[in-house]
Structure 1
Amino acid sequence: MLNNIKLVIFDIDGTLLDSVCFNTYNMNCTLEMMGYTYRVDEACIRANLGATAEDFYKVVLDEVCYLDWEAIRTQNRVNVRQAMQGYGKAFPGVESTFKALYEKGYKLVLYSNCSRLYLESALEVLHITPYIDYTECVKDNGLEKPELLKKIVSLYEGMDTVVVGDRIHDLEAAAWNGLPYVAALYGFGKDEIKDATYQIQAIDELIELLEGPKYTKSIEEYISLLDKEKQDA
């Protein structure tokens, strides 16, 4: 059960940030600038977002480009903020969901395989900075996702915690730490997480999952229901 959760840890790509178009555009601009004829496509980018940098570039680039993947990554980072502002976007409901959870007293944390520059550029698009308590990337301290998750949980000792993500990496990291996991099925890895115990089809469904169903009838319906109960008594 998720009734006592106080700390919510979010992945970024595919969970908060709809970044397929942005990453495809940025990568192809870099490849063109560096003189390569190869171009990536959105389907390949979508299938591999959320992986570590080396694994990501190994799959999305052809053999010739991959020999120079670190230089390609460096150039991608040079252009990341401008490309993010033009093509990055939040999934519907991200900002309002963070605001609602923050106002309900939840601690909201971001963790990711991305670089610090990428994370900061994403925050400019997501508009959720006022609601976030802490952020950390795997490259900040050389930790893999399971170890990074362990570190973050230790910073909030005693708080019941849930992890929200869209890829198998997040499910495995949560399981390694004995934490519940919410599968963001609207994201990029829906097939690999479709058997998760907790699932959401949109980010705003997270509020009800954590808070439980609320009484949503209008005042008029509520008064009518009370009158009927009195008559039946």
Structure 2
Amino acid sequence: MGLNGLLSNLENIIFDLDGTLWDPMPMSVKAWHTSLNRFDCIKNPVSKKDIQGIMGMQHSLVGEKLFPYLSKEQQDEIMNSCFEQEVKDIKEAGGFLYPGLEKTLKALSKKYTLFIVSNCQAGYIEAFYEYHKLEHYFKDFECSGNTGKSKAMNIEMLIKRNGLTNAIYVGDTLGDYLAAEDNNLPFVFAEYGFGQVPHAPYTISQIGDLEQML
């Protein structure tokens, strides 16, 4: 469904990252397995499905979900190792950008100011920028790894920091939708990502659709 008339004076677009701008799964699976092999305390192997299941989750909550039988200290140690390995691997090899991403960002950035708010760890967005050379399309970003806060709170922080009005949020999970709703932002659902948003009023089936909708 088109966004025409939804926000006729649209000025700003805030994006989620994983499942919206790129698919990090091959990189994440490799990085996690590299890191998890260092720990003897892990009872069960962590599968690709397990990793996909935590995509979009606030990064500080992942250890509790995957390793509930371990102490908080062990969870944190394991997750910090995995997160550090991810950032290292992104800097070395990047991830899978969704087809047409840079073309779309280039076109949108001529008309709107672009931002990222993600539930990833500190250093993750910077590594994404560094390897794929996309930083110049975005004005600012925020993530739970920097603030320890929820996505809704990080969106609010970014809005206040940049004095934003007339913005939308683009994401791929129900959590993204709820975070946008908490901030009274129109939400565009990237249905090609990792989550489900039943009855989303605005949906794109590929990132390039956004350019056509606005």
TM-score band, normalised by shorter chain: 0.7 to 0.9
User: Aligned equivalents of 1:125 and 1:11: distance in 2?
Assistant: 18
- Which residue of the partner structure matches residue 112 of structure 1? 118
TM-score, normalised with respect to structure 1? 0.80
Q: Retained in 1: the 8 A contact 2:94–2:128? A: no
- Which residue of the partner structure matches residue 26 of structure 2? 21
* 3-state SS of paired residue (1:81): helix
Q: Any stretches of 5+ residues in structure 1 without a counterpart?
A: 211-233
Please give the root-mean-square deviation of Cα atoms over the aligned residues, in Å: 2.2
| 2:212 aligned residue (208, 213, 223) | 208
* 3-state SS of paired residue (2:117): strand
Q: Any stretches of 5+ residues in structure 2 without a counterpart?
A: 1-5
* 3-state SS of paired residue (2:93): helix
1:167 lines up with 2:179 in the alignment: no
- Which residue of the partner structure matches residue 104 of structure 2? 97
Any residues of structure 2 matched to 1:63-82 within 5 Å, and which?
63-64=69-70, 68-82=74-88
1:138 lines up with 2:136 in the alignment: no
* 3-state SS of paired residue (2:203): strand
Question: CA distance change for structure 1 residues 37 and 30 in 2, over 3 Å: closer, same or farther?
Answer: farther
Deviations 1:29-80 (A, max 9, x none): 1111223463211122112201012432333347359772111122123322
User: Aligned equivalents of 1:142 and 1:64: distance in 2?
Assistant: 21
* 3-state SS of paired residue (1:188): coil
Larger RCO, structures 1/2 (Cα 8 Å, 6+ apart):
2
Q: Retained in 2: the 8 A contact 1:24–1:40? A: no
* 3-state SS of paired residue (2:206): coil
1:199 lines up with 2:206 in the alignment: no
User: Aligned equivalents of 2:96 and 2:64: distance in 1?
Assistant: 25
Q: Retained in 1: the 8 A contact 2:105–2:137? A: yes
User: Aligned equivalents of 2:199 and 2:187: distance in 1?
Assistant: 11
- Which residue of the partner structure matches residue 230 of structure 1? none
- Which residue of the partner structure matches residue 31 of structure 1? 36
- Larger of the two Rg values belongs to structure: 1
- Which residue of the partner structure matches residue 187 of structure 2? 181
> How far off its partner does 1:107 sit?
0.5
User: Aligned equivalents of 1:7 and 1:155: distance in 2?
Assistant: 13
* 3-state SS of paired residue (1:63): coil
Question: CA distance change for structure 1 residues 2 and 126 in 2, over 3 Å: closer, same or farther?
Answer: farther
The percent identity for this pair of structures is: 28
- The one-letter code matched in structure 2 to 1:100 is A
User: Aligned equivalents of 1:27 and 1:158: distance in 2?
Assistant: 36
